[in-house]
A and B are shown apart, each in its own frame.
Chain A
């Protein structure tokens, strides 16, 4: 059931993918509506990152179809914003926070315009990064890097935001801040989060897709933690949408 809009922005049908005899995804089908926040959880090697790469058009399906706004992923990349795991980026790269965000406007040819630079300031304001504009990328925290990469995607006019393990290696206050930002962004964007952190996703997600070669959709209710624990062996904590965090950063599970 699509919660926020019946208009599908992502439609995946009978998708299968593998390397020679090693099947990674089998007969995966789902659709995502405008403005939804979807979490994709599952064990290591379950196919989460592969699904992300298929949605981005970096990999081609062996069978089945992936449609983003009715187009192939390659044709629809301009609608996508991608926030990688920040550990995959070179922390020693001599680039400032402002420059990384500005790179959200990079085009196949040509220079940045005055308008592009003005939009950097707007995005930084929205993500509470203004004071970090001239800070070196290597000198900011994990939580700040996540917000910087989200700001870069906003600047690229993305309609769909894909986040790969956004809470890995960031502390609890930064997770809470990220949580609020994603909720705010979902008013304008569709968000897909690939994560191990079932506690984080249960707080903000409309629907959860559990992937372990095949895809199963689970409801976000009191059964969620039991399902995840029994299916994937992960201990998880539910943080309800209306739950206030206690001093340990955990809600009532």
Chain B
């Protein structure tokens, strides 16, 4: 642990500091948006967006190395693809004429394939694994600034339109009768989910985004009656899991993303056991009375 604290304060290894700051800054939007994803049952939408951004990353690497467009970073490419895919998904959901699981599957697979194709035609070796499973070494100071701005934007927008988004996802018909443009709020929610996924990819990677977006809110949902409570617990848990994942990966020399998700998974199982045992005891006490 002392080694970790030493590394955290050392100027030689800034990426540890960057990773910790990124994890803590992003926890609030993760908690908020993850709760929306869980209650609206949109984890497959999140999965499709997260996997499809590999297309944007591959394209950005291609533009960078082959076309010489140095200003296009992998993060910029991922951001562009995340927005593009969320617009396509929103259109499909609102129009309601295509089978949504087919659209999700297509976006998921086609996005990844585009990414891998661009990576294969880009000179030099690009390891897709670092994007698929996360690599904190990829974080730069510029990324942190971008992540902080995006996290702030997600949190503020979610706060301002919280009541409208909740009304829309709880009972769309009633929200429409109350004069809400439910299509706008659905698009807003999907775009917010996509941008949140982008932040999460930098830490846990593309493949494990769904776990980190759904496990903390699922635990939160066991211990609170309200969505706000679920969001608060989820945000706290995100911060704890990411810090624990970072510390343990440093101490055990294991991948941060995978370790963070395993920690979250173990916490989820323990929470379910605790919840069931506690409920069983309450029920037994009531039966005795």
The reply to whether B170 and A103 contact each other, CB–CB distance below 8 Å, is: yes
On chain A, the number of residues with a Cβ less than 8 Å from chain B's Cβ atoms is 30
**One of A11-19, A82-90, A120-128, A192-200 contacting the partner:** A82-90
The reply to whether B170 and A107 contact each other, CB–CB distance below 8 Å, is: no
Residue numbers in A under 8 Å from B164 (CB-CB)? 106-109
**One of A31-39, A91-99, A216-224, A231-239 contacting the partner:** A91-99
The reply to whether A82 and B174 contact each other, CB–CB distance below 8 Å, is: yes
The reply to whether B174 and A103 contact each other, CB–CB distance below 8 Å, is: yes
Residue numbers in A under 8 Å from B229 (CB-CB)? 94
Residue numbers in B under 8 Å from A186 (CB-CB)? none
Given A94-B227, A112-B163, A156-B178: A84 in contact with B39 (beta carbons within 8 A): no
Q: Count contacts between A and B, CB distance < 8 Å.
A: 76
Q: How far is the CB of B253 from chain A (nearest CB, A)?
A: 39
Residue numbers in A under 8 Å from B245 (CB-CB)? none
Residue numbers in A under 8 Å from B166 (CB-CB)? 95, 103
The reply to whether A94 and B170 contact each other, CB–CB distance below 8 Å, is: no
The reply to whether B225 and A96 contact each other, CB–CB distance below 8 Å, is: yes
| Chain A window 138-177, contacts with chain B (Cβ cutoff 8 Å), 1 for yes, 0 for no | 0000000000000010001000000000000000000000
Residue numbers in A under 8 Å from B175 (CB-CB)? 106
Is residue B176 within 8 Å, beta carbon to beta carbon, of the partner chain? yes
Determine the distance from Cα of A103 to Cα of B179 in the docked complex, in whole angstroms. Answer: 12
Given A56-B173, A100-B170: A94 in contact with B39 (beta carbons within 8 A): yes
Is residue B279 within 8 Å, beta carbon to beta carbon, of the partner chain? no
A58-B176, A92-B221, A156-B178 known; 10 new pairs, CB 8 Å cut-off, are: A77-B179, A82-B173, A90-B41, A93-B39, A93-B227, A106-B180, A107-B178, A107-B180, A112-B163, A134-B225
Interface residues of A (CB under 8 A from B): 56, 58, 77-78, 80-82, 84, 89-90, 92-96, 99-100, 103-104, 106-109, 111-112, 134-136, 152, 156
